[in-house]
Structure 1
Amino acid sequence: MRTRPGPRSRTRTRLFSGLGATVLAAAAALTAPTTAQAANLLTNPGFETGTLSGWSCSGGLGSVVSSPVHGGSKALAGAASASDNAKCTQTVAVQPNTAYTLSGWVRGSYVYLGVTGGTSTWTPSATAYTKLSVSFTTGASQTSAQIYLNGWYGQGTYYADDISLDGPGGSSDTVAPTVPANPASTGKTSSTVSLSWTASTDNVGVTAYDVYQGGNLATTVGGTSTSATVTGLNPATAYSFTVKARDLAGNTSAASAPVPVTTDNGTPPPPGFKQAAPYLYLGWGEPPAPATVMSATGIKWFTMAFILAQNGCNPAWDSQRPLLGGVDQSTIAAIRAAGGDVVPSIGGWSGNKLGPNCSTPEALAGAYQKVIDAYGLKAIDVDIENSDEFENATVQDRIINALKIVKTNNPGLRTILTFGTSTTGPTSWGNRLIEQSKALNANIDVFTVMPFDFGGGADMYGSTIGAAEGLKTKLKSVFGWDDATAYAHLGISGMNGLSDQQEVTGVDIWTRIRDWSNAHHTARLAFWSVNRDRPCPGGGVVETCSGIAQNNWQFTSITAGFTG
């Protein structure tokens, strides 16, 4: 653990790392500094949006909490660790050679408030909210300043609220962003509405979008987002939403075209199997203790991967670990002891699979039955991929017939088929899988598509919804179902963070996908994987983290909100 700081240690390089190019002049300027006029320049200064909009926190360690607060109903919590001081920053436009006052209310041990490259203040121990305040004067050519809050290494969580930077905004930029175009509703429930729009442009850059419900600010998202979800709405109520873009200097665009939306009436969703079950893999990626994740997120189901073939037509975890007596059985027992359950995933992209190794549907059904009996399962998932199973008509039919057999022999068992997709719905092999499921009367409960690996730069929300809607249309065509019934047999299994093809499914996108799934009462929501549900911005595609900025288990927490 690092040495606890004293008053002389506040100029440590690490503490003030950030905008090295921003220099706040301490020496006298050629002209006397302008006096700041009282006006808070910060976005989301009291965190009342319920998000970190406008702020950036290191290590994904910042969050918004409802208690303890100083004013309003929200505050910032920075979970400083032994290796990260949970530094949260915001950059604003300022005027050169001008006096400003920075203040805020903080609570915790060794909490700092300051300006990167300039002055700061701190408190060693604040058991109740304490006000910190500093004044500074900008340099002769300075047009931006980065303010920061942070705790100290190993000193635990700090809290901050009602932060204020008083003074005139930067006056060099007077050009407002363009109006957000193509606003639309992308999903709704009885209490939420999800919206999207086309990004605005600005001569400097868009820093935020403000979403209004009528004339009231409903929520704010960062300038790189083109979507938002408004919560806390009333059932069966008509609303109208508009969006405005805002830049660093505080210039605001005109309002977008209004989006009229009527929330759902709150009636129960269609009956059927509903499952929020992210993948947990014990084969790599520092698998977390499932009870810890369950306690932190509220998740109840996990999709356990992968069961493959060992010595012919015998099921084993990763073709190596026995069904009973090992870490997999003890993990399933721990999940159930915590009030949850599992659905094993049989197959996957690679490895020695049961489908090709079991020579008949009856033999394959016997292998599935060993897995069902080992754990007393309520559901099984066959992840049918690659040319050895998915793109093989003989093996496709063998899997479908085997699932038909085990469903007949195990009343109440739910069967799931998971397979790849195009951005507009099932491929020709996916279409065949659905058609044969009908022709062979297999009574499959859920058809789940995996909408990722389309290629870098893909619109992951649009592509995912396009794939799901295409699947819905195919299910309607083959089975003669209406929309509601088709959605109730449909699942989505995504990939959190950075995918193999360099696509990015961020927290906001996954939230929108979850909201769309709830609004359409689909059957299943999963992602690959809980092992990767940890932050590592710029970390690439690795097995232990998502490659993006997020909080620990944030995708799992979002998924736990799927109710169908």
Structure 2
Amino acid sequence: MKIMRRILVATAVAATTLAMAPAAQAAVNPVLAAPYLYQWENPQNPVTVMKATGIKSFTLAFVLSKGNCNPAWDGDRSLTGADITRVNQIRAAGGDAIPSIGGWSGNKLGPTCSSASALAAAYQKVINAGKFTAIDLDIENTDEFQNTGVQDRVMGAIKIVKQNNPGVKVVVTIGTNTSGPDSWGNRFIQRSKDLGAPVDVWAVMPFDFSSGGDMVTMTKSAVTGLKNKVKSVYGLSDDAAWRKSGLSSMNGHTDNAGEVVSVANFKSIVSWANSVHLARVSFWALNRDCDNCAGIGQGQYDFTKANAGFTG
């Protein structure tokens, strides 16, 4: 998910702000199958994609800090501007969206906000702006993920958000080794239990492992490691732990030279995810889901069509 996000250069989009759409239809779970769609560099029209693929939800990246713990799309666009217009268009077409807060680079809210309560207030602004029923916290890099103080601040903020919005689902997305979360990921999961922060779904990004190899096998191993950690920390059954776990793959060539998730690989991953009843399957990114956009030969929206087949 790191590719093309290291330089978050966004072009402001002029658009007429639509009246706030009502909350999405209850039948649409915005967490379940929602490929990432970033808003810079001419993103695809999500309604067109919905009609072509059957996908119902999108993970919109990224909400960052505009400074002083003030959230904004890509750190510079209003929370209620063109991005929410896009959310409303998705909802009018029968779908929904989940905002992704964080990412690999940029000025993130976790390190910028001075306390758990301030960070929770920033998350709340995002929820209110889009009437969102779920948020994705993409916690990466040394400033958020590999920082004990920020990890604990994020967990404290989640606890407050869930107290104030019990119906809002919280997804936490982190990196992983082939065997499951690393020591930082294991700490993060444990701290959610220690601090009483009710994370609904833990998702890992099973890529950037090596210069190649069997990505289906490595993905299964990484997500199984996540499931085992979730099972242990929360005292769950295998079935319940699978249903609290998820993944976000990367289509085509990943950041590591030679490592490729093919269309066939992703279809196999989705089939396996259905068999164990994961809570979430996504990929980075819809913007790269076209012939040669991800460095491989494929049909238009092949990965999104496969993602639409994930039913949990």
With structure 1 as the length reference, what TM-score do the two structures score?
A: 0.50
- Aligned partner of 1:314: which letter? N
Q: Report the counterpart of residue 253 of structure 2 in structure 1.
A: 498
CA distance in 1, matches of 2:294, 2:208: 15
Gaps of 5+ in 2: 1-28
Question: In the alignment, is residue 423 of structure 1 matched against residue 171 of structure 2?
Answer: no
Question: In the alignment, is residue 389 of structure 1 matched against residue 137 of structure 2?
Answer: no
Question: In the alignment, is residue 351 of structure 1 matched against residue 99 of structure 2?
Answer: no
Alpha-carbon contact 1:492-1:525 (below 8 Å) kept: yes
**Shift of the alpha carbon at 1:441?**
1.0
Q: Report the counterpart of residue 304 of structure 1 in structure 2.
A: 60
Cα separation, partners in 2 of 1:288 and 1:274, compared to 1, 3 Å: closer
- Aligned partner of 2:198: which letter? N
- Aligned partner of 1:462: which letter? T
Alpha-carbon contact 1:280-1:287 (below 8 Å) kept: yes
Cα separation, partners in 2 of 1:380 and 1:274, compared to 1, 3 Å: closer
**Shift of the alpha carbon at 1:366?**
0.3
Instruction: List aligned pairs for 1:339-378, cutoff 5 A.
Output: 339-378=94-133
Instruction: List aligned pairs for 1:74-473, cutoff 5 A.
Output: 275-284=32-41, 286-325=42-81, 327-473=82-228
Alpha-carbon contact 1:489-1:522 (below 8 Å) kept: yes
Flag the structure with higher strand content: 1
**Shift of the alpha carbon at 1:458?**
2.7
**Shift of the alpha carbon at 1:273?**
8.7
CA distance in 1, matches of 2:309, 2:247: 14
**Shift of the alpha carbon at 1:411?**
2.2
CA distance in 2, matches of 1:319, 1:274: 23
CA distance in 1, matches of 2:286, 2:62: 14
CA distance in 1, matches of 2:158, 2:60: 18
CA distance in 2, matches of 1:522, 1:376: 25
Alpha-carbon contact 1:274-1:522 (below 8 Å) kept: no
Map Cα deviations across residues 174-216 of structure 1 (whole Å, 9 max, x no partner). xxxxxxxxxxxxxxxxxxxxxxxxxxxxxxxxxxxxxxxxxxx
SS of the residue corresponding to residue 43 of structure 2 reads coil
With structure 2 as the length reference, what TM-score do the two structures score?
A: 0.89
Map Cα deviations across residues 374-400 of structure 1 (whole Å, 9 max, x no partner). 011110010000000000000000001
Cα separation, partners in 2 of 1:437 and 1:273, compared to 1, 3 Å: farther
CA distance in 1, matches of 2:179, 2:151: 22
SS of the residue corresponding to residue 114 of structure 2 reads coil
What is the percentage of aligned positions where both structures have the same residue?
55
**Shift of the alpha carbon at 1:274?**
5.7
**Shift of the alpha carbon at 1:311?**
2.0
CA distance in 1, matches of 2:209, 2:89: 36
Map Cα deviations across residues 390-446 of structure 1 (whole Å, 9 max, x no partner). 000000000011011011101211001000000000000000000000111111100
Map Cα deviations across residues 50-91 of structure 1 (whole Å, 9 max, x no partner). xxxxxxxxxxxxxxxxxxxxxxxxxxxxxxxxxxxxxxxxxx
SS of the residue corresponding to residue 324 of structure 1 reads coil
Q: Which runs of 4+ in 1 moved over 4 A?
A: none
SS of the residue corresponding to residue 419 of structure 1 reads strand
Question: In the alignment, is residue 555 of structure 1 matched against residue 303 of structure 2?
Answer: yes
SS of the residue corresponding to residue 100 of structure 2 reads strand
CA distance in 2, matches of 1:309, 1:343: 18
Q: Report the counterpart of residue 16 of structure 2 in structure 1.
A: none
The two structures, once aligned, show a CA RMSD in angstroms of 1.1
Q: Report the counterpart of residue 509 of structure 1 in structure 2.
A: 265
- Of the three residues 262, 275, 278, the one matched with 1:522 is 278
**Shift of the alpha carbon at 1:459?**
1.7
Flag the structure with higher helix content: 2
- Aligned partner of 1:530: which letter? L
Gaps of 5+ in 1: 1-271, 537-544
Alpha-carbon contact 1:279-1:302 (below 8 Å) kept: yes
CA distance in 2, matches of 1:410, 1:366: 12
Q: Report the counterpart of residue 483 of structure 1 in structure 2.
A: 238
**Shift of the alpha carbon at 1:455?**
1.7
CA distance in 1, matches of 2:275, 2:122: 37
SS of the residue corresponding to residue 101 of structure 2 reads strand
**Shift of the alpha carbon at 1:546?**
1.4
